[in-house]
Each structure stands twice: as structure tokens, then as C-alpha cells.
């Protein structure tokens, strides 16, 4: 290890202090910023993924700290930035003005790391709130963390807002993609009596049931590979003629439509004959 430090002087100190102060979880040392960084990493990645590389001196190898910190998608650039920011904070912590930007940057990177985990692992509200308590926010109940919040970001929501936004994006990306794939165009739901706001609040299973009702209304087979395209045509027809006249088969639909048109033309001809007699 370069200069006998694990990664760098700051991270080496932080992990070592984390390990030595665990017996006093309410103490000031265990709740100091550099140790809380390690607590946050442990919460995200698991204690073994942080401490085992330290014990074996494995940074770059398989199962080393770098690969463990990147398992949820953290980029090489972000990882190196994180290491450098922790070191720069450590070197400048006695100067509030110099330390402040590094403090904020580290908080944001930790939020990014947790959000990346949210993107890959299903987490509940307790997980999100528990990790938030490891960040330096206005409502943090920890007196030592609150003191540092007041020093670096007084009366500010920058960390909590950034965290909330990143977690929201991570937890809604898949949901919104899945929702988009599973839902039909809003007109379809309106035709059978469902408004879009109601559908959005439904579970995937409930949406599937309503979708079946939509397809049944328009006479489209649920196993039709082109059912969404047929539905679009059926909705256009419905909007013009006010009837769900479709068989789920394009050729048959065309014949049916031709029959309707022929019937209308025949009626017109009969009416004209009667009028002109």
C-alpha cells in the first residue's frame, strides 16, 4: 500500500477509526464525519465489502474495495472523485471555508451511491429513511451530525433535496418504464369508464385486468401480437362512429367496415329514390 495507507491517508484513518470506535456507537468519535462516511458505505455495500478489503489490503483486485464500490454501477471517474474528495476534506478539515465544498461533494456522492443501490435492489421506506439519518440534514436527530450541518450548510436543504431527488429517480425509473410498457393509451381507458389518474394508482395486476376489459370491449384477442396496433385502429374507428366494431383481425375489420359503408350508401340511394319519385 502506497505510503502504508489503504487507498489514502483519509480513508485509511476513517476505516481504522470506525473499527476502533464501534464499541461506543453514541460517542463523538464514532459519529465524526469521516467515520460516518464509512458507516454510510457499510450501509450501502455491507460491512464485509468495506472491511475485508481493508484487512487484506485489496484495493484494485477481484473482491477489492474498488470493485465492491462499483457493484451498483458507480463509474471509475466517480469512484476516484470520491476518494480524492475524502482526502481533500481530511487535509482541510481545520479550515471551514476550504472543507465545506468537499463536505457537500462527499454527501452528494454518498447519495448517488445509495440511489444506485436503490436502482438495483428493492428497498423500503425504512431503508431510505435510515440512510438519510447518515446524511447531514436539518432534521438529523444525531447531535454531532446536526452540529456539522449547522457549520457547513446552515438552514439549507441542499443535501436532503439532492438525496430525495436521486432516490426518486432511481426508484421510479423502472416503475415508469414498466408502467409505460403495460398501460394502454388513455383514450382506451376513458371509453370504458376509467380515468388516467385511477389507472396510475393501480397495481400491475389491476392494470392487466382493466387492459383485458379494454380488449374485450373492442373484440381484440388478448394473445394477438399486434393487439396494441389493432386497439389504436379500433379507437380511431370508435371516435368516428361511436361503436367498437373490430374483430382483432385487420382483414376482417376491413370487410366489416366496407359492409358498413356499403349499407350506408344503400340507405342513401334508397332515400334519394324515394325523394325523387
pLDDT in tens, 169-209: 887 755 545 555 567 777 788 888 887 656 765 666 777 88
At residue 245 the predicted structure's pLDDT band, cuts being 50, 70 and 90, is: low
Q: Is the dihedral of CA 181, 184, 185, 190 positive or negative?
A: negative
Q: What is the pLDDT of residue 181?
A: 58
- Biggest alpha carbon–alpha carbon distance for the chain: 111
pLDDT at 1 over 50: no
- Percent helix, strand and coil across the chain, each rounded to 5? 70, 0, 30
Burial per residue of 93-130, b for 16 or more beta-carbon CB atoms within 10 angstroms, e otherwise: beeeeebeebbbbbbbbbbbbbbbbbbeeebeeebbee
| Out of 77-91, 125-139, 236-250, least confident range | 236-250
| Distance from C-alpha of 27 to C-alpha of 36, rounded to nearest angstrom | 12
> How remote is the C-alpha of 92 from its chain's centroid?
34
| Out of 34-43, 152-161, 169-178, 260-269, least confident range | 169-178
Q: Is 193 left (phi over 0), alpha (psi -120 to 50) or beta?
A: left
Q: What is the mean pLDDT of residues 65-93?
A: 94
Of 143, 144, 112, residue with least CA distance to 41: 112
Burial per residue of 184-211, b for 16 or more beta-carbon CB atoms within 10 angstroms, e otherwise: beeebbebeebeeeebeebeeeebeebb
pLDDT at 89 over 80: yes
Reported in sequence order, the residue ranges of 178-246 that DSSP labels E, i.e. its strands, are: none
Instruction: Kindly write down the DSSP assignment for every residue of 120-186, as one continuous string.
Output: HS---HHHHHHHHTTS--TT---HHHHHHHHHHSTT--HHHHHHHHHHHHHHHHHHHHHHHHH---H
At residue 247 the predicted structure's pLDDT band, cuts being 50, 70 and 90, is: very low
Neighbours of 232 (CB within 10 A): 15
Q: What is the pLDDT of residue 184?
A: 79
pLDDT at 27 over 60: yes
Instruction: Measure the CA angle with vertex 86, ends 84 and 90; round to 5°.
Output: 115
pLDDT at 36 over 90: yes
Q: What is the pLDDT of residue 111?
A: 95
At residue 86 the predicted structure's pLDDT band, cuts being 50, 70 and 90, is: very high
Q: What is the pLDDT of residue 227?
A: 82
Q: What is the pLDDT of residue 144?
A: 95
Q: What is the pLDDT of residue 210?
A: 85
> Quick one: how many helices (H) and strands (E) in the chain?
14, 0
Percent of the chain with pLDDT over 90: 48
DSSP structural state of residue 70: T
At residue 251 the predicted structure's pLDDT band, cuts being 50, 70 and 90, is: very low
Q: Which of 3-7, 86-90, 212-216 has the highest mean pLDDT?
A: 86-90
Q: What is the pTM of this model?
A: 0.63
Q: What is the pLDDT of residue 22?
A: 93
Amino acid at each position: 500500500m502506497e505510503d502504508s495507507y489503504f487507498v489514502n491517508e483519509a480513508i485509511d484513518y476513517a476505516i481504522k477509526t470506525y473499527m476502533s470506535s464501534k464499541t461506543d456507537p453514541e460517542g463523538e468519535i464514532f459519529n465524526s464525519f469521516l467515520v460516518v462516511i464509512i458507516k454510510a458505505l457499510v450501509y450501502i455495500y455491507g460491512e464485509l465489502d468495506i472491511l475485508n478489503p481493508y484487512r487484506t489490503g485489496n484495493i484494485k483486485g477481484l473482491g477489492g474495495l474498488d470493485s465492491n464500490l462499483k457493484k451498483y454501477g458507480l463509474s471509475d471517474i466517480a469512484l476516484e472523485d470520491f476518494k480524492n474528495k475524502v482526502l481533500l476534506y481530511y487535509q482541510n478539515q481545520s479550515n471551514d471555508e476550504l472543507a465545506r465544498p468537499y463536505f457537500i461533494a462527499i454527501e452528494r456522492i454518498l447519495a448517488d451511491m445509495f440511489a444506485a443501490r436503490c436502482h438495483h435492489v428493492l428497498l423500503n421506506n425504512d431503508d431510505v429513511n435510515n440512510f438519510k439519518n447518515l446524511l447531514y440534514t436539518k432534521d438529523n436527530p444525531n447531535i454531532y451530525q446536526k452540529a456539522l450541518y449547522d457549520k457547513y450548510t446552515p438552514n439549507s436543504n441542499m443535501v436532503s433535496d439532492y438525496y430525495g431527488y436521486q432516490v426518486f429517480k432511481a426508484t421510479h425509473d423502472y416503475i415508469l418504464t414498466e408502467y409505460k410498457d403495460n398501460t394502454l393509451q388513455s383514450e382506451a381507458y376513458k371509453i370504458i369508464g376509467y380515468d388516467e389518474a385511477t389507472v396510475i394508482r393501480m397495481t400491475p395486476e389491476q392494470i392487466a385486468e382493466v387492459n383485458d376489459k379494454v380488449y374485450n370491449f373492442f373484440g381484440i384477442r388478448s394473445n394477438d401480437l399486434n393487439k396494441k396496433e389493432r386497439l389504436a385502429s379500433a379507437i380511431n374507428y370508435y371516435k368516428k362512429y361511436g361503436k367498437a366494431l373490430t374483430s382483432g383481425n385487420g382483414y376482417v375489420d376491413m370487410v366489416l367496415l366496407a359492409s358498413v359503408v356499403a349499407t350506408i350508401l344503400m340507405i342513401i340511394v334508397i332515400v334519394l329514390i324515394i325523394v325523387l319519385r
